[in-house]
Amino acid sequence: MNKVFQMLPLQLFLWAGSATAQTPDDMQLSCLLEPSREIKVSSHVSGIVSAVNTERGSQVNKGQVLVKLESGLEQAALDSVKARAEFSSRKLERNKDLLRKGLLSDFEQDELLTDKQLAQLAIKEAEARLKQRTIYSPADAIVVKRSVSIGEYVGTEPVLELVSLNPLHAEIVLRAEHYGQVQPGTPVSVAIGGQEDVFQGTVKIVDKVIDAASGTYGVRVELPNPDSKLPAGLKCRAIFELTSVQ
């Protein structure tokens, strides 16, 4: 028998206590806007905080400096290896004529070139150690918790907690009878509780395992949120265009 596909609009009102779907089981569906990323920011190394450049509620950009640790020793080490590198370069420059004329032994030539290479590597190592004293934002995000202040000691514990609100995620639970009707890329209209505006989202993840006890499976909807205008934590309802099979 050939399968006939029809596009049937199925509006799923995703509120606790709503009863707009066809059976009481649909009342178990829920929707909540959540951050797409939650990040606990820690330091690569331990040390004393010398500067904090953000506060709770601030929006930060990827690569932005968030926290600095005292770095006097690391800066001094970098200055020292730079001085050695400059000396190696001057020494090599003074012996260029001898190298060109072949008046230096193989050992002396190798020593001059190796000294310069080692000095350059030492600079890179010192720069990396100094960079570890600065904590950068790993993403465009909102600061939701600040755990340190100037003068405090930082170890392995998180110093800041960030969330990414663009995009937002909505985790939705559907009944097993709808399995196969929702696929990644399926457009979804999302209405926010208490607002008349409807936002357009897209299905990003469809669980491959159905929960046997409840007869449901999960779907993740991704909702663009430019400028992070919508906060996380809002209840919502979603409207799918589902394909039914007869």
Amino acid, res. 220 = R
Is 159 among the domain residues? no
Same domain? 75 vs 33: no
pLDDT tens readout for residues 47-60: 999 999 999 999 99
Domain that holds residue 81: 71-132
Domain of 199, CATH number, reads 2.40.30.170
Q: Which residue has the higher pLDDT, 177 or 105?
A: 177
Is 56 among the domain residues? no
The whole-number pLDDT of residue 2 equals 43
Average pLDDT over residues 59-64: 95
Q: Give how far Cα 241 sits from Cα of 11, 15, 97, 98, 235, Å.
A: 8, 19, 79, 81, 20
Helix, strand, coil tally for the chain in percent (to 5): 25, 40, 35
Same domain? 34 vs 75: no
The whole-number pLDDT of residue 110 equals 79
Q: Which residue has the higher pLDDT, 182 or 99?
A: 182
131 pLDDT band, cuts 50/70/90, is very high
Tell me which of 112, 132, 152 is where a domain ends.
132
Average pLDDT over residues 225-235: 89
Domain of 92, CATH number, reads 1.10.287
The whole-number pLDDT of residue 87 equals 92
10 pLDDT band, cuts 50/70/90, is very low
Q: Would the pLDDT of 7 be above 70? A: no
The whole-number pLDDT of residue 236 equals 87
Is 52 among the domain residues? no
The count of structural domains within the chain is 2
Same domain? 181 vs 233: yes
Same domain? 233 vs 187: yes
Same domain? 78 vs 34: no
Is 117 among the domain residues? yes
Is 143 among the domain residues? no
Average pLDDT along the chain: 84
164 pLDDT band, cuts 50/70/90, is very high
Q: Would the pLDDT of 194 be above 90? A: no
Q: Would the pLDDT of 171 be above 80? A: yes
The whole-number pLDDT of residue 181 equals 85
Q: What percent of the chain has pLDDT over 70?
A: 84
Q: Which residue has the higher pLDDT, 39 or 183?
A: 39
pLDDT tens readout for residues 19-45: 333 333 332 346 889 999 999 999 999
Is 209 among the domain residues? yes
Whether the bond between 167 and the residue before it is cis, its omega within 30 degrees of 0, is yes
Tell me which of 82, 115, 132 is where a domain ends.
132
The residues, any chain, with a CB within 8 Å of residue 70's CB and separated by 6 or more, are 47, 48, 49, 50, 133
The whole-number pLDDT of residue 124 equals 97
pLDDT tens readout for residues 149-161: 999 999 989 999 9
Residue whose C-alpha is closest to residue 236's, from 204, 203, 195: 195
Is 57 among the domain residues? no
Tell me which of 117, 132, 147 is where a domain ends.
132
